[in-house]
Structure 1
C-alpha cells in the first residue's frame, strides 16, 4: 500500500518532500501529495515511512488502502 497525505491536515511545511527516497512527494495546489505509483512506504530504505516520521501533524501521512502493498522486486 502506498501512503497518502490528508490534504485538510497538511500544513505545507514541506518537511516530508526531501525525506522521500523515491521522490514520490510533490506540492500541488498548496499542499503536498504522494504519488502512489512511486511510494514504497520506504521499504528497502528505512524501517518506517519517513514522511510520517517527520510530519509535524500526527496521522497526516497514512496508508492508502486503495493501492496494493508494495512488493520488493526479486
Structure 2
C-alpha cells in the first residue's frame, strides 16, 4: 500500500528529499507526474490523457503530503519506505485506502521510471 502522512506532521521536511519517486510535497505546493519520474503523459482513470508536467492541486494545504499514485513504498529502491525511516514523529504510515501488493508496487515503479 502507499504511504500517507498524518496530521501529526510537524512540517520538518525530512521525508521529501528521501523519496526516490518525488511523491512527497510540502503542503500547499502543486505537484506533477513528471517530477522525479520519466512520465511524459499520464492516462487518467476517465481515459483523459494529461501532460506529465501539468500542475495538479495539492493533496494538503497544511502538511507535507504523499501522492499515492507516485508512491511505491520505496519498493525496488530500498528495504523500507525512507520517509517513514527518517520521520521524527512517525507520521508516515501505510495508507489503508491504497492497498497494493509487492508486484503492483514494482509495476508502478517500472511505469514511473519507464523500465
Scaled by the length of structure 1, the TM-score of the pair is 0.89
Name the SS of the counterpart of 1:62 in structure 2: strand
Residue 47 of structure 1, aligned match among 64, 76, 79: 79
Deviating above 4 A after TM superposition, structure 1's stretches of 4 or more consecutive aligned residues are none
Give me the CA root mean square deviation: 1.4
Asked which structure has the greater CA Rg, the reply is 2
Gaps of 5+ in 2: 28-60, 111-115
Aligned length: 72
Q: Greater share of helix residues, 1 or 2?
A: 2
1:25 aligns with 2:24: yes
Gaps of 5+ in 1: none
1:37 aligns with 2:36: no
Scaled by the length of structure 2, the TM-score of the pair is 0.59
Q: Mapping of 1:48-63 within 5 angstroms?
A: 48-58=80-90, 60-63=91-94
Residue in structure 2 matched with residue 3 of structure 1 by the alignment: 3
In 1, the alpha carbon distance for the partners of 2:26 and 2:85 equals 18
Q: Greater share of strand residues, 1 or 2?
A: 1
1:67 aligns with 2:98: yes
Q: CA deviation at 1:51?
A: 0.3
In 1, the alpha carbon distance for the partners of 2:67 and 2:87 equals 17
After superposition, give the CA deviation of every residue in 1:19-55 in whole Å (9 maximum; x if it has no partner).
0000000011241000000000000000000000000
